[in-house]
Structures are given as C-alpha cells and as structure tokens.
Structure 1
C-alpha cells in the first residue's frame, strides 16, 4: 500500500503549530510508517521563503497550513497548495481566524511599514521597495478560508500535539475529525 503524502506550509505566523507537530514525539515514528512528509518548513527551511520555492510543492493527500494570509506571496502559495492537495487543514488559530497577525488590521499598511522600517530602524531608514525583499502586504490580514477552500479547521494557539495526532489519524483512516472542548487550546 502506498503511503499517505503529507505537506505543510507556514504563512504569517510564529511556527508554533509546527513546533507542536514536533511534539508528537514518538508518534512521529508511527506516522512515518503510514505517511511520508513530502514538503514542510520542518524539513526544508527555504519553504518559509519566497513563493518561487513553492512551485515544486508536490501533489499530496493532506496539507497542513499554518499562519494567516498577510501578503501577496501567501496568496500565491495558498493557491498552489490548494491545487495540489486533496485535503487542506487550516492548522492553528492564525490559519483559522487570522488571530494575532490580524491585529495589523487596526492600522494602515503604510503606517505599519513606516513604523517598522523608518521610525524604529537602527540603520538604512527606508521602506524596502523590492518585492523580493518583502512581498507586498495585503490591506488586511485574513484567515486562509478567505483565499481558498478549507476542508478542516484545527484551532489552537498552538493546537495541542494530541489534537494534531487525533486529526491526522482520523484523516488517515478516512474519518471526519469531530472536535470536543478537550481538543482546543487558547493562547
């Protein structure tokens, strides 16, 4: 039997969901028996960088998407991931609701850029103009469901390892995860 193919991506977030995934500990060995991690920032750091690195995102059965949609690169990555995934899971509160990154919505994008790159800079006080350096920020940070169809939502900041394991096991067995209050963690 072929192994289930899993991928994961990290958009506008802190990487806490991926760290919680690593907290599966010895269950990662159990997962490795039935699934293969095809693409992930856990296994390849450059996958947290420009959209061009995602052009080779493989066809997978399940994609876990961490983080909110904050910039134009995030939008393009999401489209690639959705196109190449049978199932997409919004992985953590940032992907599900926008969470902490969406606090940026309280301010104008130009004000945010000015505060970061001019007012608080220690040298080179100018906003980068090259989108290779910083992708164009969206006017509003949004959850991933505002850009692509999401099949399942795994909330938590970060989701507990037990909830991640429960979700993955259900999906591997062809079942729909049904969450109870024990599956949630609010950060």
Structure 2
C-alpha cells in the first residue's frame, strides 16, 4: 500500500457475532483519520450493495458455514488484492465450528423442533444452505494476514490498518493473541 494514495477497503462478516466489526467501530475518532486515507467501498456498516471488482484490502470476519459464506469468501479473494482474516472465528472457526461435532440433522432438529414451543418444525424456505462442516476462511481461500482476537481490539485493528497504509506488513501477534 502506498501512503500517498487513498486505498480502497471492503469488509464482510460471515458466520459469527459481528464483534470484530463492533471493534472496528470502536476506533471512534480514529475513524475520521482513517477516512482521510481509506475509502470503505463495501461493508455492512455502509450502504453499498455491490463489492467492486478491484479492492486494495478486504477484511473478512466470521467462519465459513454456509454456501453464501463460501461464495462471499471466494468473491473477496478474487476481488481483493490483500485479504485479512479478522478474529478468532475467521482464523480458527472458533464458536461457529462447535456445530462440527453434530450431524446436520441433529442441529436442525435441536434448533427448530426440540427447543421450540410454538409451532415446532423445520422451516421449508429461507434457510441458508449449511456446509457439512464449519471452517476458517483460509480453508477455502488464500489469506494474506491473520488477526487473532475475540474480538481483536480497536487498537489491534488500528495497528494493522495503519501499518498497511504505511506500506508495511503488520505483525498482529505482537499485540494480540487467540481469545484476547
């Protein structure tokens, strides 16, 4: 990344709690400084509906657990020059991958039959197509940088972004760890 040119950035969350995006928003007043150097061209925190074809930095949070997650991860890898796996779910599968120990039929029965008091039964439409197992992002696409944390702190995200903007490769392991 070049310090003189404004870079483009896109973010998305896959299967997770969106806590990593909340940490991004916790940059608070630093968001104003960031906006001087970065154009957020796609994100759940902006109103853009289409991921552009050529993005400098892509940030994905969450694990890959559905066909839609898989397609988003592939699209980000295809369209982003540099891809960041943000947070423990993205890096390791974390909490979403806990369903991997269960058969999918058991998961659906537990969610829609066993724990429902009014009208138990599996929905017949509007359900995402679940993958057999939940996997971290790097199991389906190449990732350039892994940023651990649940969620990574705003300071960690700031460090990563400012290092990239300055043209340096950040080493987030110096300031964060799994679960921190």
CA distance in 2, matches of 1:41, 1:8: 7
Q: Which of 7, 24, 27 is 1:24 aligned to?
A: 27
Q: By how many angstroms is 1:185 displaced?
A: 5.9
CA distance in 1, matches of 2:105, 2:178: 34
> Within the alignment, does 1:69 sit opposite 2:64 as a pair?
yes
Tell which deviates more after alignment, 1-10 or 98-107.
1-10
Q: Normalization by structure 1: what TM-score?
A: 0.88
CA distance in 2, matches of 1:42, 1:164: 16
Q: Which of 113, 117, 120 is 1:118 aligned to?
A: 113
Q: By how many angstroms is 1:161 displaced?
A: 0.7
Q: Which runs of 5+ in 2 are unaligned?
A: none
RMSD: 1.6
Q: Note the alpha carbon deviations across 1:12-65, whole angstroms, 9 max, x for none.
A: 000100000011111101100011111111124xx8xxxxx6xx2112110110
The answer on whether the counterparts of 1:67 and 1:92 sit within 8 Å (CA) in structure 2 is yes
Q: For 1:72-151, what aligned pairs fall within 5 Å after superposition?
A: 72-130=67-125, 133-151=126-144
The answer on whether the counterparts of 1:158 and 1:185 sit within 8 Å (CA) in structure 2 is no
> Within the alignment, does 1:153 sit opposite 2:146 as a pair?
yes
The answer on whether the counterparts of 2:147 and 2:173 sit within 8 Å (CA) in structure 1 is no
The structure carrying a bigger helix percent of its residues is: 1
Structure 2 residue matching 1:183: 3-state secondary structure: coil
CA distance in 2, matches of 1:76, 1:105: 20
Q: Note the alpha carbon deviations across 1:78-106, whole angstroms, 9 max, x for none.
A: 11111110011001000000001111111
Match of 2:172 in 1: 179
| Residues matched between the structures, number | 176
CA distance in 1, matches of 2:78, 2:117: 42
> Within the alignment, does 1:60 sit opposite 2:55 as a pair?
yes
Q: Note the alpha carbon deviations across 1:136-177, whole angstroms, 9 max, x for none.
A: 111110000011110000110000111101101111122111
Match of 1:165 in 2: 158
Q: Which runs of 5+ in 1 are unaligned?
A: 48-52
The answer on whether the counterparts of 1:102 and 1:141 sit within 8 Å (CA) in structure 2 is yes
Distance 1:21 1:81, change over 3 A: same
Structure 1 residue matching 2:36: 3-state secondary structure: helix
Q: Normalization by structure 2: what TM-score?
A: 0.92
